[in-house]
Chains A and B, each alone.
Chain A
């Protein structure tokens, strides 16, 4: 579904990504684990077309999207949830949901969103950033689900949230997975990653150093934590 081939990226002279090759299939949850500065965010920005100094290629559903501008990637089915949640303060909760265009038949309706996230329905007229951190994260995820995105890029969705909210987000990820959506999850929270993911990639200094299935990942959790310095 989403395929990344030999992706390298630079900031000026400094190379931030080194020939990363990875894939996310339909209905598959894949995490990218790595410490700060490992190149996780650079990778996501490359995928969204926001970082242009790169070589390699990005494919979505068999189509080369490497040179598409960001808005056409979103329309092709990439749904990005930013690490800061990316909620617009100048837009109400409902406007935040309605802003991105629908991109596929599997797009959620507003009713479905409000059924799944009652808190958003209650506060639909409120300013987007007046929500709590957890609610904003729900809104950010709901926003891409409403577009019918085929692949979700979730950048640290559990960061700074209470365990009960993190569990809820895990629930949403599983729901998305069941409906055939591919998920690339950027995480530092290894325990959370282990509860939702099928496979894991470890990123260190811009290089994908390991690729593990979830059983191996759980088995080697302590060793990996140490290796990553988390």
Chain B
């Protein structure tokens, strides 16, 4: 029983990274139609930025949780303005290739500057150690990660459902052309939405910094799992990204515990089952036959 609780918390913590990053991937895909391959690299940059800021400026994790996503927001908006926007009128494949190339570039730049061995990150003492829950010692940091992820997901959900911006994003996600023909300047939202999605990947990276090895390559496996998450949840679905993220985290944790050799495979088995049963994903909408 205690083991189950431990693996659940561990799975939800891992799922938190997936959920946050997948949320960013989903809004970007929804509004721009871009499958952002560089999302794993943005996640890595978030973690690296947190480590570098701690090392050079002594910026704590608390500060990094605010500062790094803001930096990533600006960085994402720059990437969209300088690169992504030029390929938007073309086949989506071009932006997939562009962001794939960007990934290689970012990874190599980080390797060149910070090496391959990984950067150290000491978690704040308040978040170290374990807390006793029902006779089981659970890592405080994992609970913290889950809490932050749930708060941010709730915040994004409120933003999407309770504000005019959210309404416009939902409409533009569903039918961009129609939203435009109803007087919405969809193009105006493209850059901030891309930046916002990148900021979420950066936030996931900051949260991962004290928890995972911070290397230039840390985003490479991450992005593959992330694609599985959005396929399971439903491409472009906000709720699907979050549920898919936590679900994949749980599958991974229990897989590693009970069938370590199959842990990674299990995620893709889950993906295959979902796609067979519901081709559009758990929360995806079937394309209307027009």
* CB of B174 within 8 Å of the partner chain: yes
* CB of B103 within 8 Å of the partner chain: no
Cβ contact within 8 Å between A89 and B180: no
Q: Which of A71, A80, A103 contacts B184 (CB 8 A)?
A: A71
Q: How many A-B residue pairs have CB under 8 A?
A: 64
Q: Which residues of B contact A82 (CB under 8 A)?
A: 178, 181
Interface size on A, residues (CB 8 A): 25
Specify the chain B residue showing the minimal Cβ separation from A44: B181
* CB of A133 within 8 Å of the partner chain: no
Q: Mark A13-52, 1 if CB is under 8 A from B, else 0.
A: 0000000000000000000000000000000000011100
* CB of A99 within 8 Å of the partner chain: yes
* CB of A110 within 8 Å of the partner chain: no
Q: Mark A69-106, 1 if CB is under 8 A from B, else 0.
A: 11101110000101010101111000100111101000
Cβ contact within 8 Å between B183 and A147: yes
* CB of B158 within 8 Å of the partner chain: no
- Size range of the interface on B? 20 to 34
State A88–B181 Cα separation when bound (angstroms).
Answer: 13
* CB of B168 within 8 Å of the partner chain: yes
Q: Which residues of B contact A103 (CB under 8 A)?
A: 183
Cβ contact within 8 Å between B177 and A70: yes
Q: Mark A46-65, 1 if CB is under 8 A from B, else 0.
A: 00111000000000000000
Task: Check A100/B178 contact, CB under 8 A, given A84-B290, A90-B170, A91-B171.
Answer: no
* CB of B185 within 8 Å of the partner chain: yes
From residue A93, how far is it (CB to closest CB) to chain B in Å? Answer: 13
Q: Which of B164, B175, B184 contacts A86 (CB 8 A)?
A: B175
Cβ contact within 8 Å between B173 and A90: yes
Q: Mark B180-205, 1 if CB is under 8 A from A, else 0.
A: 11111110000000000000000000
From residue B166, how far is it (CB to closest CB) to chain A in Å? Answer: 10
Task: Check A69/B180 contact, CB under 8 A, given A91-B167, A95-B167, A99-B171.
Answer: yes
From residue B204, how far is it (CB to closest CB) to chain A in Å? Answer: 25
* CB of A143 within 8 Å of the partner chain: yes
Which of A90, A101, A143, A147 has the most chain B CB within a 10 Å cutoff?
A: A90
Cβ contact within 8 Å between A98 and B167: yes
From residue A154, how far is it (CB to closest CB) to chain B in Å? Answer: 14
Cβ contact within 8 Å between B171 and A88: yes
Q: Which residues of A contact B285 (CB under 8 A)?
A: 89
From residue B259, how far is it (CB to closest CB) to chain A in Å? Answer: 38
**Shortest Cβ-Cβ A-B pairs, 7 listed:** A74-B183, A100-B182, A70-B180, A90-B170, A70-B181, A100-B183, A71-B185
- 17 interchain pairs (CB within 8 A)? A50-B181, A70-B177, A71-B185, A71-B186, A74-B182, A75-B183, A84-B288, A84-B290, A86-B175, A86-B178, A88-B174, A90-B173, A91-B170, A98-B164, A99-B167, A100-B184, A147-B182
Q: Which residues of A contact B (CB under 8 A)?
A: 48-50, 69-71, 73-75, 80, 82, 84, 86, 88-91, 95, 98-101, 103, 143, 147
Q: Which residues of B contact A (CB under 8 A)?
A: 164, 167-168, 170-171, 173-175, 177-186, 285, 288, 290
